[in-house]
Amino acid sequence: MKKEVTDEVLNLSDALVLRLNLDGTIYFVNTKVLKTLARTREELLGKKWTDIFIPSGFESACFKALSQIKDEDSDEHKNMALIIPAKFNPEKLIRWNILFIGKNETASGEGKIICVGVNITELTNLLKRYEKITRFNDMAEKFSHYLLRGENEERLLQKFCDILYEYEFAKYIWVGKTIDDGNKKSLVPITVRGFDIKVLDKYDFSWIENVDLIKNHERNIKRKKEFIYRNISDSKIDSMRKVAMKFDIRSVIVLPVFVGREVFGVIHLYSKNTDLFDDDEIKCIEKMIVDFELAIEKNRLYENNKKSLENIKKSEQNYKSLISQMNQGFALHRVVLNDDNKVVDYIFLDVNKKFEEYTGLKKENIVGKTVREVLPETEKYWLDVYGKVAMTGKPVQFENFAGEFGKYFLVSAYSPKYKEFAVTFTDVTSRYNAEKRFRDYIEKAPIGIILSDINGKCLEANRTFSDITGYPLEELKGMEFSNLNLERDKGNKKVFSTLIDEGNIAGIFSFRNMNGNKKYVNIKALKIDEDKLLGFVIDVTKEMGNERDLINLKMATERSIDGIGVYSNEFKLIYLNEAHANIYGYETTEELLGKSWRTLYREEELEDFDKRIIPEFNRKGFWKGESLGKRKNGSLFPQEISISKLKDGGLICIVRDITEKNKIIKEREEIFIKTKKNFELFINTLVKIVELRDPYTSGHQERVAQLSVAIAKKMNLSREKVEAIRVAALLHDIGKIYIPSEILNKATKLTDLEFKMIKEHSQNGYELLKELQFDLPIAEYILQHHERNDGSGYPHGLTEGEIYMEAKIIAVADVVEAISSHRPYRPALGIEVAFDEIKKNSGILYDEEIVKVCLELFEEGFEFI
């Protein structure tokens, strides 16, 4: 029992505990050992310590201690501390305290070895990491001193090389600088560490042409990426292997140095060991390189700035001279902002002589003042435009009228720096006035005028052209010329392609105006330069009308499948097409020409024409309807007739044989009747399914449908909506088929869970019917029939504006029927209680108008059947 207790205590220990016999056999391990070494107890017990641990250190250290306690009479204790890694997990570093106990010191008379260990892997790694970071910081700090001194570029490279070598980053180091002689780029060795720089003189470090190392990694260098050979002996580049063999090198890293976008130089680090450089070391060197790059850029920038300042002074003098003498108005301003950072004014900073000439304002009177002080009536338009330029930096160019000066200016505005803007402007008043007069002439021209680009896009058009085409001027601008579908009257050639090919066109063309009416126009058009087309258009529709009408009428009637006949004042056929003759059973039109229309009808139809149709035709000037026609062989057929008076007397008659049409209509009516019967059978079947599950509410859905339909009709809803409400009301409780019958028929109060199941019948009904194709959203009406205006309904808590009117009607009918009818859990409460419920909650739960209509129905005598 004592041993078991001891073992249990050791298993709970945070220390690693091993017990061994003197021959090195393990007979106890605690839980911490198993977790640390990731082994099971069976894998360790009974094994020799030499099977588990790397023996070299343990054997040499322990041999002497073991030999001293081999003697049975020895009672000495030997204690030592060692770090001994396991064979199968050598990266784990464990510090062992080892106690050797002689034979006389144990109850069993056998010597023992007790090992107590602590896992120091993480601590060791942290110490190494700390030493590395300390080393990196020392390097960076030392290099920073040189950077701050402002040493020249080559001196900084040498110091960088010294620091890397001093901190033993590599066995050999050399730094090359790029030289560009105009023909090629080369790497020139600047400094080396670890070997003589003369060694490098034997190699031609051409940037592109000769050195395999540079050629192979030029892309990496240009992308500012280092490249590493962790084992040069594996390299496929002969020159690298030769260098490796000569200097006993195993790994190399090459790091590019950039100043701006140009390669300044390359740093090479070589080591005798493979895989020398880890990520932390590379990052450290890269950071130092970045600092070096910034220092070089700073020094160069300083030198450039000195030259730039001199150039700026010269440029300022030239700028002032140019601004003063330029032939455009110029002004420089700074905007004034309010507390909301919005532009409310701007200050004059500088103006030139041309500005004074254009505006009449003198420089000495306005510089330093705001525009509101100088020109109090300045329009907000100018503040908005210029303010946007100053705050966003986006330049603008525009032409506008400046009311303060009564002139038109062509203005360009840009921002030389944040919150400032400069404007250059030219007085274009005379040009604008001339253009305006010309535009007035164009607008008043009695013929249509259009200007387009070479691709046929309308640039300008006058009012007459707009009237001819029917398109508003705003729509014409930017419209493709081809959209008008202009066609040459003869040959059907496209106008636009003809104009491009021939350089000009002239002739009569037809097109459809915006309203679809055919128009005829006389067009003369020509290229006015390489990218502009100008056209003159005259409407000749009236002149072409009579001739065209006759030609088109003949073409249309001959191709028509309807019978067309023209009758004289004496109602005799003076013209008919072949379709007209064929419909009445005649083979040629000649058989009917000159005959009276009465030839085509039997006596019964003629009487109807005389009494009813002819009086109506004489009164209205037209008549359209159906009658029976008589063929040449005496057979009758149903026909559609349309007759209209002609201006010069007589009439035109259009006839269509509708025998096949009537047949199709009859077939469709039969299909519709059959489909409707099947639909009603389907609906009634679904209703009976619900009633079978819930016999106590038998007839409930039919009665709700009766009241819903009555309400819908009284509200003058369309026939389609009334029918949709009837179907939805009949099926509004279809979702109850998913609810157990024992819950539906329960005579006592429902539990919360049972009532929650009942409330799901709206959603269930919707899911059941949503895929069926109805003309109106019947499934949605069923889903919403328990929603209420104030959002207290279910399933989605919709409010008044989100609920279909049809669902609101079914909701009121459902409440009235339910309250006034018997239920398993209560007797019928009566119709008056139902009225009280909907009155009390009118406008709250239920729609006010629907409640009002429902109550009026019962007052008028409505009763459930």
Are the C-beta atoms of residues 237 and 213 closer than 8 Å to each other?
A: yes
| Beta-sheet strand order (sheet of 94-101) | 26-29, 16-21, 112-119, 94-101, 77-83
H or E segment and range at residue 192: strand 185-193
Indicate the pLDDT class of residue 492, thresholds 50, 70 and 90: very low
Largest CA distance in the chain: 157
The Cα–Cα gap between 680 and 775 comes to 15
How far, in Å, CA of 214 to CA of 263, rounded? 12
Give the C-alpha separation, 686 to 679, whole Å: 11
Distance CA 407, CA 400 (A): 9
**Mean pLDDT within 815-831:** 76
pLDDT tens-digit readout, 364-405: 888 889 988 888 877 777 788 888 888 888 898 877 777 667
pLDDT of 609 higher than 80 = yes
Q: How far is it, in rounded angstroms, from Cα 124 to Cα 445?
A: 98
pLDDT greater than 60 at residue 236: no
Q: Per-residue pLDDT for 852 more than 90? A: yes
The tokens for 71 are 């003697």
* 97 class by beta-carbon count within 10 Å (0-12 exposed, 13-18 middle, 19+ buried): middle
Residue 740 in contact with residue 754, Cβ under 8 Å?
no
Percent over 70 (pLDDT), the chain: 72
pLDDT of residue 374: 86
pLDDT digits over 65-100, tens only? 555 544 444 444 556 666 666 667 777 778 777 787
Position 831 pLDDT exceeds 70: yes
* pLDDT tens by residue, 637-662: 999 998 888 876 788 888 988 888 88
Q: CA-to-CA distance for 157 and 528, rounded, in angstroms?
A: 69
Question: Which of 59-63, 347-351, 479-483, 824-828 shows the lowest per-residue confidence on average (mean pLDDT)?
Answer: 59-63
Q: Cα angle vertex 167, ends 163, 168, to 5°?
A: 115
What pLDDT is attached to residue 197?
65
Containing 187, the helix (H) or strand (E) segment is strand 185-193
On the question of pLDDT at 210 being above 50, the answer is no
Candidate from 259-268, 352-361, 751-760, 781-790 with smallest mean pLDDT: 259-268
Distance of alpha carbon 812 from alpha carbon 809, whole angstroms: 5
Look up residue 209 and give its two tokens: 């042409």
Phi, psi of 252 (to 5 degrees): -145, 145
Tens-digit pLDDT profile for residues 154-192: 777 777 778 777 777 777 787 777 777 666 667 777 778
For β-strands 16-21 and 112-119, DSSP reports them as: antiparallel
Is residue 148 predicted with pLDDT exceeding 70?
Answer: no
- Tell which residue, 171, 144, 172, 140, has the closest CA to residue 280: 140
List Cα–Cα distances, 240 to 191, 249, 274, 582, in angstroms: 20, 10, 14, 101
Q: Which of 236, 195, 182, 193 lies closest to 213 in space, CA to CA?
A: 236
User: Would you place residue 309 in the very low, low, confident or very high pLDDT band (cuts 50, 70, 90)?
Assistant: low
Task: List, in order, residues 6 or more apart from 818 with CB less than 8 Å away.
Answer: 700, 834
Give the per-residue pLDDT at 181: 67
Output the pTM of the full model: 0.32
pLDDT band of 225, cuts 50, 70, 90: low
With beta carbons less than 8 A apart as the criterion, state whether 581 and 592 touch. Answer: yes
In degrees and rounded to multiples of 5, residue 99 shows phi and psi of: -115, 120
Average pLDDT, the chain: 77
Q: What is the CA radius of gyration of the chain?
A: 52
Higher pLDDT, 235 or 28: 28
Contact by Cβ (8 Å): 210, 184? no
| pLDDT score, position 811 | 94
Residue 767 scores a pLDDT above 60: yes
